[in-house]
Structure 1
C-alpha cells in the first residue's frame, strides 16, 4: 500500500471514528414532530377506550366488568384534554367504581382478595380528576392503604420478610407489584414522602433488590446485580426464575420489577448516591430496551410487556432526565423511544394487545390503558428537566400535551 493510500485509509478511519464519537456524544431529542405523532397515537387509544365502554359505565376483563381496569381507563380519559374529568364517559365510569367504596375506606369487591389492587387504582383515578368533591374519599382510601400494609398493626415486626409490603389480601404474602402500586397511588394522591408508609415500604422493597450489601435476606447474600425480583417473602420469588451469578444460581431480576422498585425508591426520596438507587439505575442502563421485558427468559420475554412500558415511563419520569446512556454508552431519549415503539405496536382500531396473555395482557382494555398512560407520562413536561425529579404535584393527572379540539361532552 502506498503512502497516499495509507493516508486515505487513515483519514476515512478518523472520520468514521469521529462520527461514532459524535453520535455517542450527541443527546437525542424528543422533537415537536415526535410529540405530534405521540399525541395522535394517544388520542387513537383514548378514542378506542371510549368506544368500548359498557352500558353500565365499566370497562371489562374478558366479558365481565372490572373495577380496577375501569379506574385505569378513567385516568387515561381524564388526562386527555379532549375528554377530561367532566366527560360523560369518565363520569359514568366513576359512578361504577364508586359503587365499591366500603365503610373501611377501601374501594374493592369484598371477598375477592384484591383490596390493595382495586383501592390503589381507584385512588389514582380519583386523584386525576382534581375535584374537591372527592377529597374525603381520597383521604379515606389513603388511610385504608396504610392500614393494610404489612407492619406492626398486622402483628409483623421489621425482621419479618413481609414487613412493609403489600399483597393480595391479609392472608397472602406481599409482593413488589402490589407494594409499588400502593406507593404509586399514595404518591399521585399527594401523600408526602416523609409519611411512615414509605419508610416501612422501603424495608420490603430493599429486600426485593438483588444487592447483598443492602439486602439482609439470605437469598441475596453476595448478590451484585442490582435489579429487583417479585417478592422477598418466603425465601424470595422471581417470575423470571433463576440465573447464574458468580458461579451460583440466584433469583433472576427483570425489567418490570426493576423499574417498579426504582421508581418506588425515588418516591420515598432516597438520594441519588444511595447504593440502592445507583445499583438499580446501573441495571436499567445495562438492560435498556423496549423490544421486550428485559432479562425475562427468551420464551417469556414478551410477558408483562405493557405493564413494563407503563412502569418504564413512570420510573424515568420520576428520575427526571430525558436521556439515558445504555451499557455501551449510547444515548437514548426514553420519551421518543417509548412513543415510537408504542406507535409501531398500535392496532388499526387504536388499541393495543399482547400476544402473550399472562397477567391479563390479552385484554385490549387493560393493555390500551397501560399504553395510553405511558404515552401521557412521556408527553408530560413538569419535572422533566435534567436532574430535577418529578414530585407528586407533577403527577396528579395534569393534562398531557395538547393540540386542539375536544369531542362532544
Structure 2
C-alpha cells in the first residue's frame, strides 16, 4: 500500500491524473505483511472496505455525483451507489448521500426509458449500472425500472442472420457493435431487476455470450473451430481486446487462402462470461462453465489481467475491472479453496485481497480521516480514474467479505 497526503482531488474533464496526487512529499509506506489465513482475513477486508468507502463518500459533489466534472459522471455515480449500498457494510438506500445520488440518476431517465446524457451516449452502460444501483439501494418505482428494462432490450441485436444476435453494445454505436462486457452488464442488471432467465430475449443474450467462448463443442463460429478450445472468453465473436491476438485477413491472398481469424481468451472477459452464465442459471457442471473454470485454473493470477499481451503495463490493462469480476464470479459459485491445474492449492479470497491491498494508495483526507484509493498506471479503459476504481474495488472487497 502506497501512502500520500491528499489535500484535494480534482479530476480534469479529460481525466488527467489530479495534480494533488503527484506531490513530492508523498512518502511510500512500508507494505503490510500479506494475509496468510482466513482467520486473519475478515478484519483486514472490513478495514479496507471502511477506508475505501470513506474515500469514495468524500468525493461526492454538490449535485450528488461521485466524481467532479461533467463527463461520464452518471455511470461512475451509479457504480458508486451500487458498491456502497451492497453488503456487507452497506450504506442504507435512504441515507441522504445515496438519495442525492439517486435523484441525479433518476432525473436523467430519457423518454425511451434509458438513463443517460443524450450528448454522451453510453446508454446501456449507464442504464445497466443505474438498475443495479436501484436494486442495491432498494429504490426506484416499478414504472422507472420497467421502462429501463425495455430500453435495454431495445438495444439488443435482433438480426437473426447476425453472429452477434442477442448481444448488446454501449448503446451509442447502433447494431453491429455488441460485446461481452456490455451484454454481461445488461444481463446482470435485467436479472437483478426481476427479469427471469427464461425470458426469450435473455436466452438470445445467452446465445451471444456462448459465441464469445473459445469452445468449439458449443460455439460453431469459425474462429472457435480454428481455436484451441481453451474455454476462455473474448470481447466479442469478432474481436479480442487482448492485443496481438487478432489475425486479420491478408488482402493480397484469395479469401480461401486466408487462415481463419484467431481470437485469444483473457481474464476479465472469461470471468464476465462465467458470471453471466451463473446469472442465467447455468450450473457448475454445465460444460461451458466447467471449461471456463478450467481456463481460470490454468491462468490463475491477480497481478495482471491474464491473457493480455505485451509488457507488464499492457498486461495490467483492465486489472481492477478484472479484480471485480473475479471476486463476483468466484463468490457466486461459492468457490472456496481450489486446486489449480498444476496441483497447487490456493484460496482466491486471500490471494485477491492481498493483490487489491497491494495496489491501494493510502491517503489522508482534509478532515484527517484515513482512506484508500486506487490508480492503475495502465490507463486503458479509464483505470487512471480513482473514482471508477473505487467502485470496482469496493465491489470486489465486499464479495470477498461475503464469501467468508
Same structural fold, with TM-score higher than 0.5 when normalized by the shorter chain: yes
The residue matched to 2:338 in structure 1 has which SS?
A: strand
Matched, 1:209 2:213: yes
| Structure 2 residue corresponding to 1:358, chosen from 380, 394, 398 | 380
Instruction: Give the equivalent residue in structure 1 for 2:327.
Output: 313
Does the aligned pair in 2 maintain the 1:313–1:374 contact within 8 Å?
Answer: yes
Instruction: Give the equivalent residue in structure 2 for 1:180.
Output: 184
| Structure 1 residue corresponding to 2:348, chosen from 324, 334, 338 | 334
Instruction: Give the equivalent residue in structure 2 for 1:14.
Output: none
Instruction: Give the equivalent residue in structure 2 for 1:102.
Output: 110
Q: For the residues of structure 1 that align with 2:245 and 2:116, how far apart are their CA atoms? A: 37
Does the aligned pair in 2 maintain the 1:126–1:134 contact within 8 Å?
Answer: no
- Cα distance per residue 1:157-197 (max 9 Å; x no partner): 1x411201000222451011100110121222232222223
| Structure 2 residue corresponding to 1:167, chosen from 163, 169, 178 | 169
Q: After the TM superposition, which segments of 4 or more aligned residues of structure 1 sit over 6 Å from their partners?
A: none
| Structure 2 residue corresponding to 1:226, chosen from 231, 235, 241 | 231
Greater radius of gyration (CA): 1
Instruction: Give the equivalent residue in structure 1 for 2:52.
Output: 45
Question: CA 1:78 to 1:39, structure 2 compared with 1: closer, same or farther past 3 Å?
Answer: same
Structure 1 residues 212-361: aligned runs within 5 Å: 212-223=216-227, 224-232=229-237, 236-243=238-245, 250-299=262-311, 300-349=314-363, 350-361=372-383
Structure 1 stretch displaced more, 220-229 or 266-275: 266-275
Does the aligned pair in 2 maintain the 1:42–1:375 contact within 8 Å?
Answer: yes
- Structure 1 portions without partners, runs of 5+: 1-27, 385-409
Matched, 1:75 2:82: yes
- Cα distance per residue 1:32-60 (max 9 Å; x no partner): 42111101101100100011111111122
Question: CA 1:323 to 1:190, structure 2 compared with 1: closer, same or farther past 3 Å?
Answer: farther
Question: CA 1:37 to 1:366, structure 2 compared with 1: closer, same or farther past 3 Å?
Answer: same
The residue matched to 1:348 in structure 2 has which SS?
A: strand
CA shift, 1:103, in A, is 2.0
Instruction: Give the equivalent residue in structure 2 for 1:405.
Output: none
Does the aligned pair in 2 maintain the 1:70–1:93 contact within 8 Å?
Answer: yes
Question: CA 1:314 to 1:221, structure 2 compared with 1: closer, same or farther past 3 Å?
Answer: same
Does the aligned pair in 2 maintain the 1:309–1:338 contact within 8 Å?
Answer: yes
Question: CA 1:273 to 1:222, structure 2 compared with 1: closer, same or farther past 3 Å?
Answer: farther
- Structure 2 portions without partners, runs of 5+: 1-34, 248-258, 364-371
Does the aligned pair in 1 maintain the 2:223–2:261 contact within 8 Å?
Answer: no
**Paired residues, what number?**
345
CA shift, 1:30, in A, is 6.2
